[in-house]
Structure 1
């Protein structure tokens, strides 16, 4: 992400948090700037994104099968419908990058990380219908399609290994899917051996054999075709192995306790995007209740993360944002069954109520069930990625 975009995001966050644009100047302003920069870095870590795509891609459309896959596994807010609908936790669709040879297909797999476990790889190609076929009665109805791994890429690749073959109807068109898992798994382990795929078709007429008489759709460099070939990768992304804090130019240092201005600094969890709480109220610290506030028991409250308003809408396809919710309210004695209090929380509430210890506070109102979300986005190579994120939505609250 470029410096100009960093500044735009920073200015936007300042605006959303109700801070004047000049707040980024001076000692306190520098502190706020550091806090907001740290918030952006932590937000990238939550979504496991090392670098944001450089450009927005409003002109580009995702493949239809990826759109259908998203709606199969998630609702309009990205909330996962049920576990196990998605094979693995990450799906990539890599578009064919060869624009010249009608039978040759090449896919750049450099975006696949070493920490990803390959579950399945599919080569998706669109078979074109052959029109104006003379003397159809002399042609066999089926043709043989063979998919090869290219071992030595040249003007005419001779060295190749057969991966898959099948019979197809001569007179129909549509998507064909070939399993290429073993080949692509080897490529991920050693990307230098990736020289692409070659697809050949053969069929027999009354007197002779015809080769490559039937074609598969290919896009041109400056003309995208919705039927272009894709390599679709289903992987398990080991976030624990990949997770690390992104490098920063300076370490964030919190303000000293006696800094009067520090009390106005937003909490880090309040900096997440332009989050609308209860739709009409600005974010504020709800960890303490003043005597004037009515006592509200621990419960879910509205919390919406809007990708458009933090400048991510240009590369996130679905959803526009999601309802994360958060837990708010008091955990006062006696804790009813609806608060799903732990035994420890029950004992703690008794100790606090009886004032057996001045240091013991009431239990905390926190999520006790979390749901996952799915997000579809463009990566920096313009590939479309569908990824599942665990523990992103508070589904219920309890006293702990």
Structure 2
């Protein structure tokens, strides 16, 4: 059962992340993305998040992220891998960052990548310029400018830089992944140390570590095989019994049947056994997956069950084809089966989880929850 559910989630195996790593800035950002996607529509509870991460900071997610999220099927975050070099380079005027994008999925289109750097407030409110570069050669001999932002000393919070161009290079050719650098200058062009304006590096708190977040759009649709819900064989010989019923006046016949079936007993039976939505809850916690699935703990999937018997009333949400099929089945049951009770409307869910490398992934899954049922 676990293998089947993992297959539905698009995973070949159960992730086993190394959760001893204490970087929490990326999970907190991804938590806010998940929040923005789900809390308004599904009234999602976040008590688990509040226990796992600090939740008293303002939301990471702004209008730009919400715009990118609307067009994305998958979001991944990556933390800075370089160790703290503050003690080794007290007079450095640039800060180097390195991210491992080896786990980026094959076949999905990379639509946007953002670099997130946290800035603490400083007492003097001067103007500064931050520039982010891509390292294109080893030993920092050549840099490619990616993005620039003007900040003030009194500013605090997460700064966002567009690094989509360099990340596309990294995905296509991993040898180009030599890292990023950012530099801070005053208005007169003087370089200063990044930490002097409040930019947080590896020596700062774990909740404020630099990271990048990548947005992807799926290019292919993965279809799973459909298994038959019934092994009952039906006689497909359409000639059998056709002469006997080919001139049957359907209009008069159905009117008489519907009139006779309008009794209280029949109505109650139809209501009780008719096609409708039923409760079904899938618990990730019961599967023992709480160590890698961050949210949700489970979801209400529902299922459709019940009779699609003649006559198909309006509340049974039947298609025109199902109505005709029901009539033919009633006249000659051996010719065709009754219509099936099946979902007529489905909706997706979002799952937030760790992969094997402890990257935090937010993925949308389509057609996971039954919203309504009907006769097909």
- TM (norm. structure 1) is 0.68
RMSD, aligned α-carbons: 3.1
Whether 2:138 is the aligned partner of 1:153: answer yes
Describe the shift of the 1:48–1:76 C-alpha distance in structure 2 as closer, same or farther (beyond 3 A): farther
Determine if the alignment matches structure 1 residue 336 to structure 2 residue 336.
no
Matched, 1:179 2:143: no
**Counterparts of 2:288 and 2:374, CA distance in 1:** 34
Aligned-pair distance for 1:77? 9.5
Structure 2 partner of 1:234: 215
Task: Name which one, 1 or 2, has greater alpha-carbon Rg.
Answer: 2
Residues 300, 93 of structure 1: alpha-carbon distance in 2 compared, 3 angstrom cutoff:
same
* Residues 371, 394 of structure 1: 8 Å contact kept: yes
1:164 paired residue among 129, 147, 162: 147
Structure 2 CA distance for partners of 1:59 and 1:161, relative to 1, 3 Å: closer
The corresponding residue for 1:272 is none
Counterpart of 2:71 in structure 1 is 87
Change (3 A) 1:200 1:376: same
Looking at structure 2, the residues matched to 77 and 101 of structure 1 have their Cα atoms a distance apart, in angstroms, of 44
1:388 to 352, 364, 372: 364
Post-superposition shift, 1:218?
A: 2.2
Structure 2 counterpart of 1:106, from 98, 105, 115: 98
Q: Could you say which residue in structure 2 is the equivalent of 1:285? A: none
Q: 1:72 to 1:170 in 2, by over 3 A?
A: same
- What residue is the counterpart of 2:178 in the other structure? 195
Residues 191-222 of structure 1: CA distance to partner in whole angstroms, max 9, x if unpaired? 121111101112268xx9342243521235xx
Q: Tell me, what secondary structure is at the counterpart of 1:63?
A: helix
2:113 alignment partner, SS class = strand
Distance 1:332 1:180 in 2: 59
Shift of 1:384: 0.8
- Is the partner of 1:240 in helix, strand or coil? coil
Shift of 1:114: 2.5
By how many angstroms is 1:146 displaced?
Answer: 0.9
Q: Which residue matches 1:365?
A: 341
Structure 2: unaligned runs, 5 residues or longer: 45-65, 87-94, 226-231, 233-268
Give the Cα–Cα distance (whole angstroms) in 1 for the partners of residues 41 and 162 of structure 2. 32
State the partner residue of 2:92. none
Residues 308-348 of structure 1 deviation map (CA, whole Å, 9 limit, x = unaligned) = 01121111111110000000111010001111212221122
Secondary structure of the corresponding residue to residue 309 of structure 1? coil
Deviation at 1:124, TM superposition (A): 0.4
Task: Tell me the SS of whatever aligns to 1:370.
Answer: strand
